[in-house]
Amino acid sequence: NVGGSTWMLMANGKIYACGRNDNGQLGVGNTATPINTFTQEALGKTDWVDIEVCSSGTVNVNLFAIEYE
């Protein structure tokens, strides 16, 4: 959980997220906030292999997703 949001990489290669989304940071295709149930990211991809979350304090949070090609 970083910055009030949580992301999960599932075994099937999909990414789901929930939590704060006021700036669209969950990548679910809208800016509704909060999102209280895990929702698949808007691209609908199924070949993600890793996610990394980096934070520089409580304001700036970046999510990096790595796709297998």
Q: 17 and 28 in contact (C-beta within 8 Å)?
A: yes
On the question of pLDDT at 60 being above 80, the answer is no
So what's the pLDDT on residue 52? 75
pLDDT digit string (tens) for 22-54? 888 888 888 888 999 999 987 888 887 887 766
Over residues 14-19, the mean pLDDT reads: 88
So what's the pLDDT on residue 37? 93
C-alpha 6/C-alpha 2 separation (Å) is: 7
Q: 25 and 61 in contact (C-beta within 8 Å)?
A: yes
Greater pLDDT, 65 or 5 = 5
On the question of pLDDT at 65 being above 90, the answer is no
